[in-house]
Structure 1
C-alpha cells in the first residue's frame, strides 16, 4: 500500500467537526454529507420489527436467497434485463462492494481509471489494495460527463485494466445519456477494459429514466446500494451484479472478509424494494430542494450553480470568494454554522475552487443555510 496516496475523507471530517459544534449547543445546517434526511419507508420499519422476533444469524456470504431473487426481479422490472440471482452478491454497503470488485477483478499493481472530480473513496480504496489509479478529468463545459473519446485518449496516454464510472455522479450530479453509456461500454470492450458501473444514485434522476450498464452488457460489474434512494445509509447494505468469471472468487473473499451482510439490514432491504412509491415522493422533494438551492447559490454569487440532473448535490465554483475552499468551508462551518464539503475531497488538482452542497436534507435546512451564508459572505 502506498500510504502517501491515502487522503482524509473531508466530508466525513467536516461532519465530525459539525457534530462537535452541535454537542456544544450550536445549530448546524448539514449540507456536507450525501445522507437523506428522512427515515426509511414504513414497510421497512415494520419488516425490521418482525424480523427481530426471530433469531438473526449469519446468512450465506452472497446474501439471503429471497433478497437476491428480489434484486434479480428488480432488473427485469426496471431495465428489462434477465439477471440470475447467482450473479448477485449482497454487500455491507457499496464500500465492501468496491473492495470485493477490486480484489476479485484485478491483480496487484493493475490500474483502474476514475473520473476527476469523483467520489474520494475510490482513490483511497484503490491505493489501499495495492492497485494503481488513473484519473480522467471531466469538464463543466460538457456537463461533467465522461465521453468515449475521453477514455480513448486517457488509455492512449496510460493504459489501464479497469474503468469505474458513476451515473448519476458524485459530486457533480451528472447523468450519462443511454447512448453515451453504451458508447463507453463499447469502448471498454474494444480496449479490453473491465467496466465498473457505480449505480448507487439510481432512482435520483431528474432528467429521465436511469440506464443500467446491464442493458448493454452482462460482462461488467454493477455496484449499487440501499443508502441513497432508499434512505438507508447507516444500515450499511448494498449489492453487486458480477460477471460469471468473478462470482466465485468474490464469494470466497466475502466469506472471510465480511462473513455476510447484516441479517437485519437484509430484511429491511427486501421490504424497501417494494416501497418505491414512497421513495419516489421523496425524490420529488429532493427535486424541489435542488431548485431552491440552485437559485439561492446563484444569488449569492457562486458559479456553475445550475441544477444538476441527478443525485442530490450542487458542485459549484466558489472562486468569487476564495482560492482555498478547504479554509472557506471550515470558516463557514465555524462562523456561520453551515457545513459543506470542499472540492479538494473530489478533485486533488482543481478542487480548491469548488464546493459541494448536498440538498438531501429538508428544505428548511437549505433555506436557513442560504440565509446564514448570505450573512457570512457579506
Structure 2
C-alpha cells in the first residue's frame, strides 16, 4: 500500500495542499505527505469518536483531502456505514478528495468493515495483500480510483514503479484461491484478541480502544507512566515483550499510550500475557 499512497497523493494533490488525517494514526501517512511537500493536518480524535474522524472534526479546516483507515492502525476501531457515509458526503459536498485505507479489511470480528465503495465511486480506495492475505514481504496491493482518474494514476505508476514484481503477482493470484486457509488465520486472530482483552484487563490495562478489527490493542497507560517510550523499553528489557510506544502514532498524546499486536501464534500470546502480568506486578502497577 505504500506505493499506492504515493500514487494517490501525487495524483490528487499539489505542493501545499492540506490533507486531514486522524491522530492516533499510521505514521507513514504524514511522513509521505511531508516528503511530497503536502501539509498533513493532524486532527486529534477521541475515544468517544472511536479514534476516527467525524464530520464535526473536519469542519471548517479548509482541507483539500481526507484520509481514513477502517479498521485503523493502531486502534483497530472501525467506522460504521452511517458514519462513513456522512464523512464521505461532507467531503464530496465541499470538494474534498476522500481516500480510504482498507488494508485491514477482512480482519474484523463482530461486524464486517464497510468499504467507501459501498457509499460512492468518487473516492480512492487502497488495499493490500499484506494483512488479511498474510503477504507482508511480497509488497503487492491494489487501488480503486474513479474511472476518470485511471489513466492519470496509470501514468504515474509506470514512471514510479512500472509494476509489482511478477513473482508477487503470481503469489497474490494464488492467495485469492486460499480463503479457507485465510479464514483459519482469522480464527487465530480472534482467539488471540479475546485472550488479550482478558489478559490485559487482568494486568491493569482497562482503558483500551475498541478492537473492532486489525490485530492491535491501543491502551492508555497514563495511570502507570507518562513516558510510553521508556515504558516500552522497560517491558522489552524486563519481560521480553515488544510493544510500540504511542508516540509513533500520536506526537501530542502518545506519551501516555501504547500499542499491542496479537499477530502471533496463540501459544506466544499466552506466554506474552503471562509475562506482561508478571511485569506489571513486579513494577508495582498492579
Q: Same fold (TM over 0.5)?
A: yes
5+ long unaligned stretches in structure 1: 1-93
Partner of 1:372: 275
Counterpart check, 1:221 vs 2:128? no
**Pick aligned residue for 1:285 from 162, 166, 188:** 188
| Whole-angstrom CA distance in 1 between matches of 2:120 and 2:185 | 31
Return the alpha-carbon distance in structure 2 between the equivalents of residues 325 and 159 of structure 1: 33
Pick from 129, 132, 150 the counterpart of residue 39 of structure 2: 132
CA RMSD of aligned residues (A): 1.3
Q: Displacement, 1:245?
A: 3.2
1:147-186 pair list within 5 angstroms: 147-152=54-59, 156=60, 158-186=61-89
Q: Aligned pair in 2 of structure 1 residues 241, 359: CA closer, same or farther (>3 Å)? A: same
1:224-235 correspondence to structure 2 within 5 Å: 224-235=127-138
Corresponding residue SS for 1:338:
coil
Pairing 1:123–2:30 present: yes
Instruction: Tell me, yes or no, if structure 1 residue 199 matches structure 2 residue 90.
Output: no
CA distance in structure 1 between the partners assigned to 2:165 and 2:207 by the alignment: 40
Q: In structure 2, what is the equivalent of residue 352 of structure 1?
A: 255
Q: Verify the 8 A CA contact 1:199 1:212 in the aligned structure 2.
A: yes
Matched, 1:105 2:8: no
Q: CA deviation at 1:307?
A: 5.4
Scaled by the length of structure 2, the TM-score of the pair is: 0.95
Q: Which of 85, 95, 117 is equivalent to 2:2?
A: 95
Aligned-residue offset at 1:367: 1.4
- Runs of 4+ aligned structure 1 residues displaced above 4 Å come to none
- C-alpha distance after superposition, 1:63-83 (max 9, x if no partner): xxxxxxxxxxxxxxxxxxxxx
Alpha-carbon displacement from aligned partner over 1:27-53 (angstroms, at most 9, x marks no partner): xxxxxxxxxxxxxxxxxxxxxxxxxxx
How many corresponding residue pairs?
A: 281
Q: Tell me the CA shift for residue 306 of structure 1.
A: 6.6
- Alignment partner of 1:339: what SS? coil
Which structure exhibits the higher relative contact order, with contacts defined as CA atoms closer than 8 Å and separated by 6 or more residues?
1
Aligned pair partner of 1:141 in 29, 48, 72: 48
TM-score, structure 1 normalization: 0.72
Superposed CA deviations along residues 178-215 of structure 1, whole A, max 9, x for unmatched, are 11111111111111100000000000111222221111
Q: 1:313 aligns with which of 213, 216, 226?
A: 216
